[in-house]
Chain A
Amino acid sequence: MIQLENISKRYQDGYDALKQLNFKLARGDMAFLTGHSGAGKSTLLKLIMLMERPTRGQITVNGQRLNLMKKRQIPYYRRNIGLVFQDHQLLFDRTVYENVALPLIIAGAHTRDIGRRVRAALDKVGLLNKEKMYPIALSGGEQQRIGIARAVVNKPALLLADEPTGNLDPKLSAEIMHLFEQFNQVGVTVLIATHDLSLIARLNHRILTLKNGRMLNDGTQGVFE
């Protein structure tokens, strides 16, 4: 699903965020991406989302070589990827329903399909009864689940998350991670950047540890320093 070959990323100020990174994530896999802050987790996700371009190397996602992708193709590419943010990036002037419906409206889905799919997504995250509320009225954990519902409403093949439990207490964090596992179980490839090592150590998934832009460890155990 995701393949990185010799990826290096140097920002304009000369900072090397990633150095000759190689890894593969098979279709249907679930993996955690971890490391101290500044290790390159966010940069890696940005490269996959085409928010940034690598300085060197080649990325292939879902069979598409991102180096060859033109700017105008990027929106269509992004529709196949669900993205969950640490600060959930909900639109506070719209209801829960409208927030979740946004990717479908953008993709040009029919109104009748939108209602059905939004409710299915809200049902999966357990917030079906809150569709008419505004995000501001929800708790942090609920807001994050709305963000997840928005990420999966389009039925993407790949789900990325950047510190999805960063602002949540351990119990809510575990619930959110369990939600990601459920999506993985129905075939969605999941890659989650997190530094919550104690949580992911209990989950028995592949853990990729970055340090200073290099792959430090790739296994089912996180590396503690």
Chain B
Amino acid sequence: MIRKDPRKRSRSNSSGQQERRKNEAQGALQSTIGLKDRISSYFSNHCDVASTSFKRMLAAPLVNIMTWAVIAIAIALPVGLFVFLQNVQQLSSGWDNVVQISVYLKPDVSSVRAQALSRKWQQNPDIERVQYISPEQALNEFQQLSGFGEALSYLDENPLPAVIVVHPKTEDSSLLTTKTLLATLQMQPEVEQAKLDLEWVQRLYGIMNLAQRSVIALGFLLSLAVLLVIGNTIRLAIEARRDEIVVVKLVGGTDAFVRRPFLYTGIWYGLGGGIGAWLIINSLLLWLSGPVSSLVGAYSSQFSLSGLGFLDTLALFLVSAALGLTGAWLAVGRHLSSIEPR
């Protein structure tokens, strides 16, 4: 069989000198793998390893689907809460712009005096605009909207005071300037009471701030859980392929070569978990969208649930793949060095 190669036939009966030349030829043969080939084979090896490690996972579907599900749930929890908060934020985003101060005038202030007052306030640089509502207007509005129309007609006199609604300038409607304005208005002799209905918005923002922090903390903890799950899964995969690792090391595989399939496996676990989380969140949104739209309809609002946008989805996939890679890297770093040919 060996004689088929004419180059080698000439060597089979060689003297010492030919022997040496032959060995040099051998050396040359070994180095025929040029740099260009090495680079191109490096990339094709990456593609090969990526697809082989994926196929290897599909070969044991049940176990791997369970692992993917665990990762998906762990990722879906903080991301789902994040989406929920985003929706709440979107719902409440218009509210701080509609800051208004209701100024109730004393009953003895005449309507002429009240209108003069509102014109005077209109000149104030901190005030965007004012709106005068006479007691009669207020009563009309109340009769129409409250449903107490009949009852109100039995009253002898209008119990409602005149109101001037003050809209502060929105560009610098910081809480402090608004509160200063409130105090100024309060001190006017004609004013019975000035009321800023902002506190509950502030409280809502406080709660949302807290919730955001909780989501971050939860996300951190669950990321750690994902790292551990993937790390442990990769550790088992390394154990299962111990013999192969030994052979690869003995025929000259570098640590990077040995590591590569496990790192790709980690990436696939992470990415699969990310896609699973995306599916969970979107099915949840789909399930909730019906009740939400009927609820929102009752408030005659334009709000609709928003899911993960394109960039958010991309970030979700990238972060989960990165988590997988990191988990695999940690496991590989700890366990691969202990496997050496003996």
Contact = CB atoms under 8 A, between A and B. Distances in A.
A49 B250 contact: yes
B249 interface: yes
Interface size range on A against B: 35 or more
A49 B2 contact: no
A153 to B, nearest CB: 9
Contacts of A139: none
A185 B257 CA distance: 33
Contact of A108 (B1, B5, B42, B342): B42
A38 B328 CA distance: 40
Contact of B45 (A108, A125, A188): A108
B250 A124 contact: no
A79 B257 CA distance: 13
Contacts, number: 108
Nearest to A50: B341
Contacts of A126: 1
A182 interface: yes
Contact of B12 (A76, A123, A185): A185
B248 A106 contact: yes
A113 B34 CA distance: 12
Interface size range on B against A: 35 or more
A120 B243 CA distance: 26
Contact of B257 (A106, A150, A182): A106
Given A78-B252, A155-B29, A182-B2, A108 B37 contact: yes
B251 A49 contact: no
B26 A157 contact: yes
Contacts of B26: 155, 157, 187-188
Contacts of A76: 252, 254
A138 interface: no
A221 interface: no
Contacts of A106: 248, 251-254, 257
A103 B252 contact: yes
A80 B30 contact: yes
Contacts of A188: 26
B179 interface: no
Nearest to A78: B252
B270 to A, nearest CB: 25
A123 B251 contact: no
Contacts of B41: 105, 108-111
Contact of A185 (B11, B20, B32, B340): B11
A27 B23 CA distance: 8
A109 B341 contact: no
A80 B244 CA distance: 20
Interface in A25-58: 27-28, 49, 51
A225 to B, nearest CB: 29
Nearest to B342: A51
B241 to A, nearest CB: 9
B44 interface: yes
A157 B28 CA distance: 11
B1 A107 contact: no
B4 A186 contact: no
A110 B37 contact: yes
A89 interface: yes
B33 interface: yes
Contacts of B1: 123-126
Given A106-B257, A124-B1, A157-B23, A150 B11 contact: no
Find the residue from A28, A77, A91 having the highest chain B CB count within 10 A: A28
A204 B1 CA distance: 23
B259 interface: no
Nearest to A155: B29
A96 interface: no
B45 A186 contact: no
Given A75-B252, A155-B30, A110 B40 contact: yes
Given A51-B342, A106-B257, A109-B33, A91 B8 contact: no
B30 A51 contact: no
A193 to B, nearest CB: 15
Interface string A69-110: 000100111111001000001010000000000110111111
A154 interface: yes
Contacts of B248: 102, 106
A75 B253 contact: yes
Nearest to B42: A108
Contacts of B147: none
B33 A107 contact: yes
A91 B56 CA distance: 15
B312 interface: no
B309 interface: no
A78 B2 contact: no
A196 B110 CA distance: 124
B246 to A, nearest CB: 8
List the 7 shortest-distance A-B pairs measured between CB atoms, nearest first.
A79-B252, A78-B252, A108-B38, A110-B37, A187-B22, A103-B251, A75-B254
17 contacts: A27-B23, A28-B19, A28-B22, A49-B250, A51-B340, A75-B257, A77-B252, A83-B251, A89-B246, A91-B244, A102-B247, A109-B37, A110-B33, A123-B4, A126-B1, A155-B30, A187-B26
